Amino acid sequence: MKHGAEDGAARRVAALATAVGNFTEWFDFAIYGFLAATLGRLFFPGASPAASLLASLAVFGVAFFMRPLGGFVLGAVGDRLGRRALLTLSIGLMGLATTLIGVLPTFESAGLLAPVLLVLLRCVQGFSAGAEWTGSAAFLIEHTPVERRGRFASVISATAALATCAGGLLVLTLELSLTTEQMSAWGWRIPFLVAVPLTAVGTWVRLRIDETPVFQRLVEAGARAEAPLRQSGRDVRAIALTFAFSSVQGLGFYYLATYVVTYLTATVELSRPRALVLVATGLVCYALLCPIAGAVSDRFGRRRVNLVGGFGLAVVSIPAFVLMGTGTAAGVVGGMVLFAVFQSMVSVTTVCMLVELFPAETRSTSSAIGFNLGLALIGGPGPLIAAAIASSTGSSTLPALYMVVVAAIATLALARWLPEVRGRRIDGAAAVAPAEVRP
């Protein structure tokens, strides 16, 4: 009984460490998007407001192309030195880059050096983010009992949404409290400098946690991968599956967390404060749906829930945008919730499958490769593609078309090749044989 209580306490500490660090990482990553218009004016002046915004959004997108590199390098750290070392390094890099963005000189005082430094720091942020989601997944699920993996996995999906929500509300508070001149002079720096205490807390929590039992057993057995990148070649099929479901998950999340704000202000023509409040409400609803989706996947399996979520996104994306296009509070939040019901299914099962599909010795590296390629090539460019569709067509519903196409194609492929992985053993090299788990 005492041993069980100690295991339960260790799981709660692992969940707390994951939640705090993941919140910090995604808060740091998201605030750039909410400040894109301001940063465009400060770092890319001399062009039209639309061109400055597009330049700033392009820098936002640069981070996604650094994610695969971060996944290759930091993923290997997780397989060689441990999951805790990976997560501590990841949050430190993200916090450092975010803090430095907060003290950058603007184009007015530094000329071309200012946008160059901004691009470099966004690259560091993308490099760091390339290991956070998959590293958090491995760390948390390797601490979790088999029958509750989905519910614990929801911590990662929910805290990413809540961090994005918090970033948006902080930016909104500053914009309402400060004049345009004050916001441009120094107010924009505040959200980036908030990274200092958040990173300090997140790093302290992660340094105090124990390594996962799964990785400890690898070390004791002398089974750690000597060359994780090379050995990940054995996981090609699982990496391809990960690319497919991560593309849907990443694209859906960035539609909810990033694009909808732009859509409501640029296409539906809501005021920015109103749009941010409505999006924050929708993101909180999404966060509340994640534990439910996790429990459902524990009951009915990852494959079934992921496929329902993917096909659901293909079906409801256009109706969701029709609702949001009304511009009413009920329509916007209702559309986001309709979208979020299926997105939560895809997101939580993605967290579980990043662990359950791969053998322990190459899990950190291989899952990071598939996940980050999906986000870099398909998910990350989503907001820019959706914005381009909206501006070129003038339609309030066609921006959903990219989501529909990606979800339909990827989910059809997954319906053919994705195995059921709920209940698989995840210790040692044996991510192979499913354990007996009652349906």
CA–CA dist 106, 125 (Å, integer): 19
Beta bridge partners of residue 434, listed in sequence order: 424
b/e burial code for range 71-97 (CB count within 10 A of at least 16 → b): bbbbbbbbbbbbbbbbbbbbbebbbbb
CA–CA dist 404, 322 (Å, integer): 14
- Dihedral angle over CA of 282, 194, 258, 84, nearest 10: -90
Q: What is the token pair recorded at 152?
A: 């614990």
End-to-end CA, the chain: 27
Q: What is the token pair recorded at 209?
A: 């946690």
Note whether 252 and 339 are within 8 A (CB): yes
Place of tokens 């990960």: 242
Beta bridge partners of residue 424, listed in sequence order: 434
Note whether 408 and 316 are within 8 A (CB): no
Residue 271 DSSP symbol: -
Burial of 49 (0-12, 13-18, 19+ CB in 10 A): exposed
408: CB partners within 8 A, 6+ apart: 311, 314
Q: What is the pLDDT of residue 53?
A: 65
CATH fold group of domain 1-211+235-417: Growth Hormone; Chain: A; (1.20.1250)
Q: What is the pLDDT of residue 32?
A: 81
| DSSP 3-state of 381 | coil
Q: What is the pLDDT of residue 54?
A: 67
b/e burial code for range 117-147 (CB count within 10 A of at least 16 → b): bbeebbbbbbbbbbbbbbbbbbbbbbbbebe
Q: What is the pLDDT of residue 434?
A: 42
Comparing CA positions, the residue from 362, 138, 131 lying closest to residue 234 is 362
Q: Is the pTM of this model over 0.85?
A: yes
Stated as kind and residue range, the H or E segment containing 305 is: helix 302-324
Q: What is the pLDDT of residue 48?
A: 62
Evaluated on CA atoms 286, 293, 308, 160, the torsion sign reads: positive
| DSSP 3-state of 368 | helix
CA–CA dist 152, 168 (Å, integer): 26
Evaluated on CA atoms 351, 361, 415, 151, the torsion sign reads: negative
With a cut of 70, list the residues of the chain below it in pLDDT. Answer: 1-8, 46-54, 57, 428-439
Q: What is the pLDDT of residue 323?
A: 96
Sheet strands (E) in 301-395: none
Q: What is the pLDDT of residue 432?
A: 40
